[in-house]
Amino acid sequence: MNQTKEQKYIQLLPQIKSLIEKEENLIANLANITAAIKENMGYYWVGFYLVESPSVLVLGPFQGPVACTRINYGKGVCGTSWKEERTVIVPNVDEFPGHIACNSKSRSEIVVPLKRKTQIIGVLDIDHTELHTFDETDAFYLEKILNF
Protein backbone atom coordinates (compact mmCIF):
# COMPACT_ATOMS: atom_id res chain seq x y z
CA MET A 1 0.00 0.00 0.00
CA ASN A 2 1.40 3.36 -1.02
CA GLN A 3 0.79 5.81 1.80
CA THR A 4 0.93 9.57 1.56
CA LYS A 5 3.50 11.45 3.59
CA GLU A 6 0.75 12.65 5.91
CA GLN A 7 -0.54 9.11 6.49
CA LYS A 8 2.99 7.99 7.39
CA TYR A 9 3.32 10.82 9.91
CA ILE A 10 -0.10 10.07 11.40
CA GLN A 11 1.03 6.47 12.01
CA LEU A 12 4.38 7.65 13.34
CA LEU A 13 2.99 10.02 16.00
CA PRO A 14 1.61 7.42 18.44
CA GLN A 15 4.69 5.24 17.97
CA ILE A 16 7.04 8.05 18.97
CA LYS A 17 4.79 9.18 21.80
CA SER A 18 4.76 5.66 23.28
CA LEU A 19 8.55 5.41 22.98
CA ILE A 20 9.27 8.64 24.84
CA GLU A 21 6.35 9.38 27.18
CA LYS A 22 7.67 7.34 30.12
CA GLU A 23 11.37 7.93 29.51
CA GLU A 24 13.02 10.96 31.08
CA ASN A 25 16.47 10.63 29.51
CA LEU A 26 16.77 13.19 26.71
CA ILE A 27 19.48 11.35 24.74
CA ALA A 28 17.54 8.07 24.79
CA ASN A 29 14.41 9.86 23.56
CA LEU A 30 16.25 11.73 20.81
CA ALA A 31 17.87 8.48 19.66
CA ASN A 32 14.49 6.75 19.40
CA ILE A 33 12.94 9.73 17.62
CA THR A 34 15.68 9.70 14.96
CA ALA A 35 15.39 5.95 14.44
CA ALA A 36 11.59 6.05 14.18
CA ILE A 37 11.58 8.93 11.69
CA LYS A 38 14.31 7.42 9.51
CA GLU A 39 12.72 3.96 9.53
CA ASN A 40 9.18 5.14 8.83
CA MET A 41 9.82 8.03 6.47
CA GLY A 42 12.87 6.72 4.60
CA TYR A 43 14.85 9.95 4.81
CA TYR A 44 18.59 9.89 4.10
CA TRP A 45 19.83 11.42 7.36
CA VAL A 46 17.92 12.20 10.56
CA GLY A 47 19.60 13.63 13.62
CA PHE A 48 19.86 16.19 16.34
CA TYR A 49 22.38 18.90 16.98
CA LEU A 50 22.37 20.08 20.58
CA VAL A 51 23.31 23.47 21.97
CA GLU A 52 26.71 23.08 23.61
CA SER A 53 27.43 26.76 24.21
CA PRO A 54 25.87 30.08 23.18
CA SER A 55 27.71 29.81 19.86
CA VAL A 56 27.95 26.11 18.95
CA LEU A 57 25.71 23.15 18.18
CA VAL A 58 27.29 19.72 18.66
CA LEU A 59 26.21 16.48 16.98
CA GLY A 60 23.74 14.43 19.00
CA PRO A 61 21.87 11.18 18.30
CA PHE A 62 21.44 10.49 14.59
CA GLN A 63 20.70 7.84 11.97
CA GLY A 64 22.59 7.85 8.68
CA PRO A 65 26.13 8.39 7.39
CA VAL A 66 28.75 10.30 9.38
CA ALA A 67 28.02 13.99 9.86
CA CYS A 68 29.52 17.33 10.74
CA THR A 69 30.34 17.43 14.44
CA ARG A 70 29.96 21.14 15.20
CA ILE A 71 27.91 23.94 13.65
CA ASN A 72 28.24 27.59 14.64
CA TYR A 73 25.32 29.81 15.62
CA GLY A 74 23.72 31.33 12.52
CA LYS A 75 25.74 29.18 10.09
CA GLY A 76 24.24 26.74 7.60
CA VAL A 77 20.64 25.56 7.79
CA CYS A 78 20.94 24.27 11.37
CA GLY A 79 22.58 27.42 12.70
CA THR A 80 20.03 29.57 10.86
CA SER A 81 17.09 27.63 12.34
CA TRP A 82 18.63 28.04 15.80
CA LYS A 83 19.28 31.76 15.37
CA GLU A 84 15.89 32.55 13.82
CA GLU A 85 14.04 30.15 16.18
CA ARG A 86 11.96 28.71 13.36
CA THR A 87 11.66 25.72 11.07
CA VAL A 88 13.68 26.12 7.88
CA ILE A 89 12.75 24.19 4.73
CA VAL A 90 15.38 24.05 1.98
CA PRO A 91 14.15 22.58 -1.33
CA ASN A 92 17.66 22.67 -2.85
CA VAL A 93 20.66 22.92 -0.51
CA ASP A 94 22.84 24.24 -3.34
CA GLU A 95 20.68 27.38 -3.37
CA PHE A 96 20.91 28.03 0.40
CA PRO A 97 23.52 30.73 1.12
CA GLY A 98 26.20 29.36 3.42
CA HIS A 99 24.96 25.76 3.31
CA ILE A 100 27.33 23.43 5.15
CA ALA A 101 27.85 20.33 3.01
CA CYS A 102 28.41 17.52 5.50
CA ASN A 103 27.52 14.98 2.82
CA SER A 104 27.43 15.62 -0.92
CA LYS A 105 24.45 13.26 -1.37
CA SER A 106 22.14 15.59 0.58
CA ARG A 107 20.02 17.65 -1.80
CA SER A 108 17.14 18.96 0.35
CA GLU A 109 16.82 19.62 4.07
CA ILE A 110 14.49 20.60 6.88
CA VAL A 111 15.58 21.81 10.31
CA VAL A 112 13.20 22.17 13.26
CA PRO A 113 14.14 23.86 16.56
CA LEU A 114 13.97 21.66 19.67
CA LYS A 115 12.67 23.70 22.60
CA ARG A 116 12.33 23.03 26.30
CA LYS A 117 9.92 25.60 27.66
CA THR A 118 11.00 28.76 25.78
CA GLN A 119 14.67 27.90 25.29
CA ILE A 120 16.10 26.21 22.20
CA ILE A 121 18.23 23.26 23.30
CA GLY A 122 18.96 21.91 19.83
CA VAL A 123 17.62 21.29 16.35
CA LEU A 124 16.27 18.31 14.44
CA ASP A 125 18.00 18.09 11.06
CA ILE A 126 16.69 15.89 8.25
CA ASP A 127 18.28 15.49 4.82
CA HIS A 128 17.18 13.72 1.66
CA THR A 129 18.99 12.78 -1.53
CA GLU A 130 16.20 14.19 -3.71
CA LEU A 131 15.34 17.83 -4.34
CA HIS A 132 12.10 19.38 -3.02
CA THR A 133 11.45 16.59 -0.49
CA PHE A 134 10.23 18.67 2.44
CA ASP A 135 7.19 20.91 2.76
CA GLU A 136 4.71 22.31 5.28
CA THR A 137 3.38 18.81 5.99
CA ASP A 138 6.80 17.80 7.28
CA ALA A 139 7.10 21.03 9.27
CA PHE A 140 3.69 20.50 10.89
CA TYR A 141 4.27 16.90 11.99
CA LEU A 142 7.93 17.29 12.96
CA GLU A 143 7.06 20.28 15.13
CA LYS A 144 4.29 18.20 16.68
CA ILE A 145 6.74 15.35 17.42
CA LEU A 146 9.17 17.75 19.10
CA ASN A 147 6.39 19.10 21.31
CA PHE A 148 5.62 15.71 22.93
- Domain residue spans in the chain? 5-146
The structural architecture, per CATH, of the domain 5-146 is 2-Layer Sandwich (3.30)
Q: Alpha-carbon distance 148 to 129, whole Å?
A: 28
Q: pLDDT above 90 covers what percent of the chain?
A: 91
CB-side exposure of 119: number of CA atoms within 13 Å?
6
- Arithmetic mean of pLDDT, 4-22: 96
Structure pTM?
0.96
Looking at residue 1, its pLDDT comes to 65
Q: Alpha-carbon distance 109 to 127, whole Å?
A: 4
> pLDDT of 43-90, one tens digit each?
999 999 999 999 999 999 999 999 999 999 999 999 999 999 999 999
> pLDDT of 109-141, one tens digit each?
999 999 998 899 999 999 999 999 999 999 999
Q: Looking at the predicted structure, is the pLDDT value of residue 93 above 70?
A: yes
Looking at residue 105, its pLDDT comes to 92
Q: pLDDT above 70 covers what percent of the chain?
A: 99
